[in-house]
Structure formats: C-alpha cells, structure tokens
Amino acid sequence: EFCSSLAGIMLLEVFLVLGTLLIYFLFSKKKEETLPFKDGWWGRGQKPVTKEDSSVRPFKVETTEEELSDLFRRLDQARFTEPLESSCFHYGTNSVHLRKVVSYWKNQFNWKKQAEVLNKYPQFKTKIQGIDIHFVHVKPPRLPEGQAAKPLLMVHGWPGSFYEFYKIIPLLTDPASHGLGDEHIFEVICPSIPGYGFSEAPHKKDFNSVSAASVFYELMLRLGFNEFYTQGGDWGWLICTNLAQIAPNHVKGLHLNMVLVSKLGLTHLLSILLGWYFPGLFGFQDEDVRRMFPFLKKGLYRILSESGYAHIQATKPDTVGCGLNDSPVGLAAYILEKFSSWTDMEFQNLEDGGLEKKFSLDDLLTNIMIYWVSGCIVPSMRFYKENLQKGIGTQKHEKLTVQVPTGIASFPNEILHTPQAWAKKKYTNIVSFHFMPRGGHFAAFEEPELLAKDILQFVDKVEKEQLWKKK
Amino acid sequence: QTILCLPRSFEYSQKHAVLVPVAALGAGGVLLCWLKSGRRIKIIDMGDGWWGSGERTHKGKEDLSIRPFKIETSDEEIEDLHQRLDRFRFTPHVEGAAFHYGFNSTYLRKVVAYWRNQFDWRKQVEVLNKYPHFHTTIEGINIHFIHVKPSSVPHGRAVRPLLLVHGWPGSFYEFYKIIPLLTEPAKHGLNEGDVVFEVICPSIPGYGFSEAPHKKGFDSIATARIFHKLMSRLGFREYYVQGGDWGSRITTNMAQMLPQCVKGLHVNLVFIARQSLGSLIRTMLGAYVPWLVGFTREDARRYYPFMQKNVYDLLRESGYLHIQATKPDTAGCGLNDSPVGLAAYILEKFSTWTDKSFLHKDDGGLESKYSLDELLTNVMIYWVTASIVPSMRYYKENFSKDPDLSAHNRVGVYVPTGIAAFPQEIAHVPRVRAKDFYRNIITYTYMPRGGHFAAFEEPKLLAEDIIQFVQKVEQL
C-alpha cells in the first residue's frame, strides 16, 4: 500500500511536470516562424493588368513662388490664442513662443535654400505595389581598395522624415573623414514611409507596418541588395523589426534606437511592482532602475500625458489632420511640441519648450515644411489607425520573435525606457545593448555622432561573428 | 444613563443586566451615527476665485452691472472667413472610409461649398439676436448669457427660473429650439400643466461670448460657483438647473454646492461614475440576470454587450478627450486658424454622438437630424469668438486633478433629480447605477430616440421630460 501510494505520488508529480512543460511550450514560448510577406496594391481604383513600371527615377525637391507666397499669406493671417499665465509648455505648444517661431519662419527661414540642402543627397522615386516610393540613396564618396560598401536601410518615424538622417549620413558613408575609422563604410538608403513626405499615400485601407516593411523589402531587392542592415526608431523601429521578421536571411543586422514591448505579461507586472526593490531578480541594471522608477511618474503618467496624440490619430486621423493641412502654424505647433517633450520631458517647464537647445530652427522648420509642401499630415496620421485600431498586442507580428542579430541604443530621454530584460524576450539575439549618455527620441537628428558610433560598433560585432561562424 | 442604571441593575436578573446596557449602547450608537450623519458634509465647498488677467486690483468693488449685448459681425470678418474657405487644402480619404477615419473629406467639400456660397452669417446673427443677450462681470471675467422670459404669462401661473447649461462642442445656441417650448409650452402643443419657465442660458467661461479665464485651474466647480453668483445677481434664490455634457457636470456640482438654491436638477447625460467592486459584479451578473441586479430590459439592451459598448466604443470615441485633457493648446492651435479644420473637428461629434451607426455613412448622417445652417451657426460661434483653445483647456482643468471625479462622487447629490436617458447617448447609465450618486432620483425616463445633443436634436422630447419632472418636484 505504501509503495503504491508512493508510486502514485511520483506518477502525479511526473504528470504535473509534463503538464506544466506542455502548457509552457504551448502558451508562453513565442513562435520562431517568419512573418509572411504582405503583398498588396495601394494605388487608386483597380489594379491594372499591365505590369507595373519598376523604373527608378531621379527626384529633386522643388519649390515655386506660388507655394511660398501662399505659405506667407497663411503665416501672416495666423490667429493665435493667448496662453494661460505661467503655463510654459504644460498645456501644449506655448503660443507666445510659437509667434517667435512663426516670425523667424516668415522673415529668416529660406525654403529655397533648404530645398537645396535637401537636394544635396540624390533622391529617387520608384513604384512599388501601386504607389510611388521616395527615397534618398547615398553612396560613399570613396572606398578603400577591396572593400565593399555595406547597404544600410534607415527608416524614420512620426513626426519625422528622411531629413532626420541628413547629419548622420556622412558619418556612415564617410566615417574616416569624421574620425570614426574606415573598417565599415555604408551606402545609405532612407525611404519615406508611404503617406509621409514625398512617398505617395496609400489609397486603400490597411496599410500598416508590415505593409511598409514589405514595400521596403521590395525596394531593397529592386536596388540589387541581397543582404543589408536596417536601422530605425519610432515607426522605423517597428518597420525594421517587421522586415527582420519577414526576411531574416536578408537582414544582416537590425539596429534600433527605440524599443517598445507590446505584449505585457505577469512577469512585466511583477517587475514593475517589485523591480525597484529587487532589480537583480528581474534582470534590471542600475541604469534601468534609474530610468524606469518611480514607475507611476516615469511610466504610467508619462504614457497617459503624452499619448493623447496617438489616441486621436489611431481613431480619427482624418479629423485631427484636417485643420493641420490647412494651417501651417497649427501644423508647426503640433509637430514642434513633440520635438520639445520627446527630446527632454523637462523642457515642458520652459517657456520656449527648450526647442533650440538641441535643434536649430532651420532644421525644425525644414522637417515641418516637408509635411506642409507634400500635404501628408493626414496620411501620416492614418498610419496610427492602421497599426493600432485592433488594439495593442493583438497582431501576428507582435507575437513573433526576432532572431536576426540586434543592436539597441538606449537613449536616456526616450519617452519610455525598455530594459534589456524585457527586450530580449522579443529580440532573442541581442548582440549589443548600450545606455547612451545623452539624447532623446530623435536620436539621429539630435545626437548623430553617438548613434553612428553605436551603429558602427554593432556592425563590427555582427561582421566578426559572421567571420567566426564561417570559420 | 447606563452608568446611573448600573447600581440598580444588580437587583435584576443576569439577562436584564446584559440587555439594558447593550440596548443603551445600541441606542447611543444610533444617536451618535445620526448626529454624525447630520454633520457629515454633503455639500461641496464653494470656495472662491479670480480669473482676470494680471493682478487683481483690490480697490473698488467689482462691477455688478448687467449689460445688454448684441452679437455683431462685419464685412471683414466674413471676407476673412471666405478667403480661408477658398484656400482650404483638402486631403483625399482612403477608399471606403465613410466616417471611420474621422470626418469624410469628400463630404466636407460639400459642406464647405455650402458654407461659402449659401450660408448667410448675417442672417444667422439676427437669428442669434432674437433672444436678449447680456454680459456681466463675475470673478474678474465677462460672463455671457441669454435671458428669455415668457412673453405672456397665463393668469395665476408661477414662472420658474431655469438655468440651461451647454457642453462641448456645443454652445448656448443648442437651446434655441427648446427655449420657446419651455417659456410658452401651451403655444407649442405641450401639456398645459402649471409649469412655465424663464430660461437663462449662460456660456461657460472660455466658450462663445463668455471671456476665457486667464488663470490656470478653472474647472466645473468654479463654473458652478460663477453660475450660482449669476442667478443670485439676477435676483433668483431658488431655481431649476438642466444640462448635458459639461452642463450635466456643472449643474450637478451646483446642486452639490448649494442644494438649498437648486429646486431640481435635470440631466440628459450621467457622467460615468467610478467602478467599484460592487458595480463591477453588478455589471458582470447583469449580462445574464439583469433583473437580479436591478437592470431593466431596456437597460440590458442599451448596456450590453459590455465590452463593445462601454469599453471599445468609448476608446474609439475618446481620442479628442485624451488630447484635450493633456495638450489643449496644441490640439486647438490649427483649429483656430483653419475654419474648415474647426468644422471637421466639431461636426464629427455631431455625427457620431447623434447616432453611432452614422459612422458607416459617407456623409456621416449629419443632415438627417440637423440643418447645415444650424450646424454651421454653432461652428461660427467658436470661430468668431476664437474660443476653441480655451474650450479645450476645460478638459485639462477638469481631468488633471480629478480623473475619476472621486471627491465629488463621495459627496453625492441629494437634490431632486430627473434623468432623461437617450438611446444614442455615448454611454448608457442604468438607473440603479445612477442611484449610487444621485440619491434622490424623482424621474428616470428612457427616451424613445435621440443622442447626445438632446436639446438640439429632440427639443420637444426633452422639454416634455423637463416639464413632467418639474411638475413632480412641485408636488413634493
């Protein structure tokens, strides 16, 4: 009797363990399958039967007198609302400071000159899946004997544009001239997300990050690249991640300056509640704790206070963008607010929003002008709806992991901090994870040198590992 | 008493020796509770405030005059509007969008064409001026209101003062169709009854022709206090109050602040009360056994499926609330500069909040319940007064401190209350849930049709409900 009850207990234990393992594998292990390529056709009306024109045509940003005088008239007739006393940037963009920006815009900003700045890098357009895709393609000015340029796809976000990369491009295509060593030299491709800047906006519903990743994948193949690196932040983070999930054999390495986790489980909740007291238990480093806690202030309240724009853009983009495509001042206020708080949350306490601490007005206004002259603010906002309308954490790509070698540059003033402990659940092959000493959300725009250095050391690691594997 | 009894109690049996002190304790306890409850604060503190610009000047008393006021327009104003309408930059919508992405831009073009070519602002200004307007300064800012008295009072009838408060993105203009039904019900085929009103419709400070506060912190409590001061200045000691949207919260605060002045409170929207464990259980059970938790069949029909109607729908419709409660100056900036942007933003609400199924229509069903003239007149009020940004700031001032209205929920409302529950309101609150907060509900009516903008859309239904509510209160 004793033996049988013991055997019974042991059997029960075995079943329990097996059962747990089974449940664990069924429910918690993220699948390692690839994300399917999302084909689509985003042009107007019906897809034509004839084959699509796949030529790559050069493109230059142009401006006209009409465009400028229309802009000036709108700036002249702008109707401002006086801010509340001592409100700084707590209620949004302060209109007293906005007036100063508008005055600079009218009197000193030179759009013709800035268009020439934009045109200093070669730009192109090509039709993919029914829409015209705009991109910048910069090749290295010189290559040492026997070395090939490594293709690097860099993807912007909202409310940014391809222009954000203009300061970092030379550091990557010509690192030697900037004191960065010439072991790795890149040719850089910066496309505009469809619906942003000079890329045509999709005419059909459902154009989400997987669609953008598929379009960019086709772009890279069309340009003749079989293997390439990708880099991104904001929407660029998600699009490059999706690209690595769609075509892991083509993406040599994925570098990100922002990571968001969308699948939050019990471990995340526990680490939020207890992480301050037992950081080691949850894999948190000191810097993680410093950036994440107190969690209410740096996590929950920040999400609530800063995500109003995402909420309305994910639900009513055509409404909220309507006035912004008609009022350049409104557009500027809306976009500049992000360049203030997402660079440093403390800037909200400043009367000028700290805007010119890290950026020049010329740079900020050039980015805004890209939205204005292309009339793309509404389609840019629709991207939020197409990605978020079904809810966060519900889409297939959010449930899949990334096996491609990943490098993460974690900037201190990013809106939300994601510790490596959380990131590695999704990015299973993190090759480098560094806490950057300074900088916020618009990393390439604000700290091009820091970002370039991190990209270079990441690529270095990936290349060396590959060589080692080949041996 | 207990102590005095003790020396004698040892003479009685043990049972009595226990019962008497226990009973005395019990009575004492009840007495204590009753005394405490009487002294428990059931009102909100009135407080005080000053919202003018700069420093408050202490010399001289505040100007208490009530100044008549007429809305005016000019050629310049109209010309400027036309120019902006002419140079509106339109963005094509995706195919099959209807109103799912927000205001449909193809339909918007039609609205703009009407606005530019047929809408007559001068004529609408005359319409607005048909009721007498006034300004008066309270707490440092100019308060705008209309004050409509019945043109003839039937013999022997008392005229009840009624304060109607609008919300966002509405205005005093929403009440223009219901006012005659309340000041002269008999003339409009409404039940005679004993009830006739003189109506006061103020504009919330920051909205329309009321000056916007210059200081931070102007919330519904401050509004409630200012409106009490307004009624007092007009010579009323007791009055009825009615409201929807912000008007509901403001009039509710008024009833919590000075219950002795508010004879009756009528609302067509109940601000969603905080979820407690009890109400959560009630919600979960109510899906299966509504009668057990006090839900009527109509409640169940309007309230469930719960996730869809109370969570997803609200999330889908509350983007504006989220951005206005956090970055109003950013959200409103472009809208004060682009009249078409302003119209799209405001009219989207008149579509979706009137009937949720309008989302599927290419024209948002706007003209099925309203005329373009009416809708644009309301938009023009925001445009000519440039009040969109201050109107949005109201969300931040109210939600930043009190995200779940918790302090005021604890206070409760004891004034006789009437609730008109419209079927297409954004969210439905069953009577049994409303009772947690409105402790003295006299009437609760399931209206047969209508949405959020009740007075604008179904003036007769709302007027009838107000009148029957007031009649009941008068008989109390």
**Token pair belonging to A241:** 């991640």
In the structure, what pLDDT confidence band is assigned to residue B452 with cuts at 50, 70 and 90? very high
- Given this model, what pLDDT does residue B152 score? 81
Are B214 and B53 contacting, i.e. CB atoms less than 8 angstroms apart? yes
Looking at the annotation, which residues of A are catalytic? Answer: 234, 384, 441
In the structure, what pLDDT confidence band is assigned to residue B207 with cuts at 50, 70 and 90? very high
Q: Phi/psi of residue B446, each to 5°?
A: -85, 110
Asked, for residue A178, whether it belongs to a domain, the answer is yes
Window A:331-390, CB contacts with B under 8 Å:
331, 333-334, 337, 375, 377-379, 382, 385
**Which residues in chain B touch residue A337, judged by CB atoms under 8 angstroms apart?**
327, 330
**Token pair belonging to A111:** 């759009």
The position carrying tokens 């006739």 is B196
CB contact under 8 A, A83 and B329: yes
Q: Is the pLDDT of residue A19 over 90?
A: no
Measure the CA–CA gap between A342 and B122, rounded to whole angstroms. Answer: 46
Q: Is the pLDDT of residue A350 over 70?
A: yes
Window A:68-97, CB contacts with B under 8 Å:
70, 74, 77-87, 91-95
**Which residues in chain B touch residue A309, judged by CB atoms under 8 angstroms apart?**
323, 327
Shortest Cα distance, chain B CAs vs residue A319, angstroms: 5
Measure the CA–CA gap between B288 and A15, rounded to whole angstroms. Answer: 37
Residue of B nearest to A333 (CA): B330
Shortest Cα distance, chain B CAs vs residue A78, angstroms: 6
Asked, for residue A7, whether it belongs to a domain, the answer is no
**Which residues in chain B touch residue A92, judged by CB atoms under 8 angstroms apart?**
326-331, 333
Window B:361-390, CB contacts with A under 8 Å:
386, 388-390
Q: Is the pLDDT of residue B36 over 60?
A: no
Shortest Cα distance, chain B CAs vs residue A320, angstroms: 7
Q: Is the pLDDT of residue A22 over 80?
A: no
Are A380 and A235 contacting, i.e. CB atoms less than 8 angstroms apart? no
Are B194 and B474 contacting, i.e. CB atoms less than 8 angstroms apart? yes
Asked, for residue A444, whether it belongs to a domain, the answer is yes
Measure the CA–CA gap between B86 and B82, rounded to whole angstroms. Answer: 6
- Given this model, what pLDDT does residue B10 score? 44
Q: What's the rounded mean pLDDT across residues B365-393?
A: 97
Q: pTM for this structure?
A: 0.90
- How do residues B247-302 score in pLDDT, each as one tens digit? 999 999 999 999 999 999 999 999 866 667 777 888 888 888 888 888 898 988 88
Tell me if chain B has a CB within 8 Å of the CB of A43: no
**Token pair belonging to A384:** 């939020």
Q: Phi/psi of residue B31, each to 5°?
A: -60, -45
CB contact under 8 A, B334 and A311: no
Distance of CA B239 to the CA centre of its chain: 16
CB contact under 8 A, B336 and A326: no
Q: Is the pLDDT of residue B13 over 60?
A: no
Measure the CA–CA gap between B207 and B378, rounded to whole angstroms. Answer: 11
Shortest Cα distance, chain A CAs vs residue B93, angstroms: 7
Selection from A372, A361, A362, A329 nearest residue A99 by Cα: A329
Selection from B331, B346, B438 nearest residue B395 by Cα: B331
Measure the CA–CA gap between A128 and A147, rounded to whole angstroms. Answer: 31
SS3 B440: coil
Selection from B431, B423, B413 nearest residue B450 by Cα: B423
CB contact under 8 A, A205 and B97: yes
Residue of B nearest to A90 (CA): B327
Q: In the annotation, is B188 catalytic?
A: no
- Given this model, what pLDDT does residue B140 score? 94
**Rg (chain B; Cα; Å):** 25
SS3 B413: strand
Measure the CA–CA gap between B349 and B364, rounded to whole angstroms. Answer: 10
Mutation target for A interface from B219, B323, B333, B349: give the one with most A CBs within 10 A. Answer: B333
- How do residues A300-341 score in pLDDT, each as one tens digit? 888 999 999 999 999 999 999 999 999 999 999 999 999 999
The H or E element containing residue B14 is: helix B14-39
Asked, for residue A193, whether it belongs to a domain, the answer is yes
Q: What is the average pLDDT value for chain A, to the nearest integer?
A: 92
Selection from A177, A167, A230, A139 nearest residue A448 by Cα: A167
Shortest Cα distance, chain A CAs vs residue B109, angstroms: 12
Range of the domain at A364: 76-263+294-470
Q: Return the amino acid letter for A101.
A: V
Measure the CA–CA gap between A425 and A100, rounded to whole angstroms. Answer: 46
3-state secondary structure chain A: CHHHHHHHHHHHHHHHHHHHHHHHHHHHCCCCCCCCCCCCCCCCCCCCCCCCCCCEEEECCCCCHHHHHHHHHHHHCCCCCCCCCCCCCCCCCCHHHHHHHHHHHHHCCCHHHHHHHHCCCCEEEEEECCEEEEEEEECCCCCCCCCCCEEEEEECCCCCCHHHHCCCHHHHHCHHHHCCCCCCCEEEEEECCCCCCCCCCCCCCCCCHHHHHHHHHHHHHHCCCCCEEEEECCHHHHHHHHHHHHCCCCEEEEEECCCCCCCCCHHHHHHHHHCCCCHHHHCCCHHHHHHHCCHHHHHHHHHHHHCHHHHHHCCCHHHHHHHHCCCHHHHHHHHHHHHHHCCCHHHHHCCCCCHHHHCCHHHHHHHHHHHHHHCCHHHHHHHHHHHHCCCCCCCHHHHCCECCCEEEEECCECCCCCCHHHHHHHECCEEEEEECCCCECCHHHHCHHHHHHHHHHHHHHHHHHHHHHHC
Cβ–Cβ contacts within 10 Å for residue B150, how many? Answer: 18
Residue of A nearest to B54 (CA): A85
All residues at 6 or more sequence positions from B43 whose CB lies less than 8 Å from its CB, including other chains: B256, B257, B258, B259, B411
Window A:247-276, CB contacts with B under 8 Å:
none
Measure the CA–CA gap between A418 and A257, rounded to whole angstroms. Answer: 11
In the structure, what pLDDT confidence band is assigned to residue A231 with cuts at 50, 70 and 90? very high
* CATH assignment at residue A340: 3.40.50.1820
- Given this model, what pLDDT does residue B86 score? 97
Q: Is the pLDDT of residue A436 over 80?
A: yes
Asked, for residue A390, whether it belongs to a domain, the answer is yes
- Given this model, what pLDDT does residue A10 score? 78
Shortest Cα distance, chain A CAs vs residue B169, angstroms: 14
Measure the CA–CA gap between B330 and B368, rounded to whole angstroms. Answer: 33
Tell me if chain B has a CB within 8 Å of the CB of A232: no
The H or E element containing residue B305 is: none
Instruction: Determine which of B5-9, B27-31, B365-369 has the lowest per-residue pLDDT on average.
Output: B5-9
Option in A44, A70, A333 nearest B333 (CB): A333
Q: What's the number of domains chain A is made of?
A: 1
In the structure, what pLDDT confidence band is assigned to residue B26 with cuts at 50, 70 and 90? low
Q: What's the rounded mean pLDDT across residues A167-181?
A: 94
Q: What's the rounded mean pLDDT across residues A367-394?
A: 94
In the structure, what pLDDT confidence band is assigned to residue B7 with cuts at 50, 70 and 90? very low
Q: In the annotation, is B444 catalytic?
A: no
In the structure, what pLDDT confidence band is assigned to residue B5 with cuts at 50, 70 and 90? very low
Asked, for residue A439, whether it belongs to a domain, the answer is yes
- Given this model, what pLDDT does residue B304 score? 86
Which has more confidence, A263 or A455? Answer: A455
Beta strands B133-138; B159-165: pairing state: unpaired
Option in B214, B323, B324 nearest A84 (CB): B214
Q: Is the pLDDT of residue B28 over 70?
A: no
**Which residues in chain A touch residue B334, judged by CB atoms under 8 angstroms apart?**
323-324, 326-327, 329-331, 333-334
Are B277 and B299 contacting, i.e. CB atoms less than 8 angstroms apart? no
Percentage of chain B surpassing pLDDT 70? Answer: 87
Asked, for residue A312, whether it belongs to a domain, the answer is yes
Window A:148-177, CB contacts with B under 8 Å:
none
Q: Return the amino acid letter for B173.
A: Y
Measure the CA–CA gap between B131 and B137, rounded to whole angstroms. Answer: 20
Selection from A163, A242, A233 nearest residue A198 by Cα: A163
**String of b and e for B277-315 (b: at least 16 CB within 10 Å)?**
eebeebbeebeeebeebebbeebbebbbeeeebbeeeee
Angle between helices B372-384 and B121-128 (to 10 degrees): 80
Tell me if chain A has a CB within 8 Å of the CB of B360: no
Q: What's the rounded mean pLDDT across residues B431-457?
A: 94
**Rg (chain A; Cα; Å):** 24
Task: Count the alpha carbons within 13 Å of B231 in the hemisphere toward its beta carbon.
Answer: 26
Asked, for residue A12, whether it belongs to a domain, the answer is no
Option in A81, A324, A331 nearest B386 (CB): A81
Q: Is the pLDDT of residue B42 over 80?
A: no
Instruction: Determine which of A52-66, B25-39, B100-114, B142-156 has the lowest per-residue pLDDT on average.
Output: B25-39
Shortest Cα distance, chain A CAs vs residue B348, angstroms: 7
Which has more confidence, B289 or A258? Answer: A258
Domains identified in chain B and CATH numbers: 72-273+305-475 (3.40.50.1820)
Q: In the annotation, is B452 catalytic?
A: yes
All residues at 6 or more sequence positions from B348 whose CB lies less than 8 Å from its CB, including other chains: A316, A319, B99, B102, B103, B364
**Token pair belonging to B17:** 């020796």
- Given this model, what pLDDT does residue B11 score? 47
**Which residues in chain B touch residue A308, judged by CB atoms under 8 angstroms apart?**
319, 322-327, 331
Tell me if chain B has a CB within 8 Å of the CB of A8: no
**Which residues in chain A touch residue B101, judged by CB atoms under 8 angstroms apart?**
316-319, 382, 385
| Choice among B107, B144, B173, B245 that is catalytic | B245
Q: What is the average pLDDT value for chain B, to the nearest integer?
A: 89
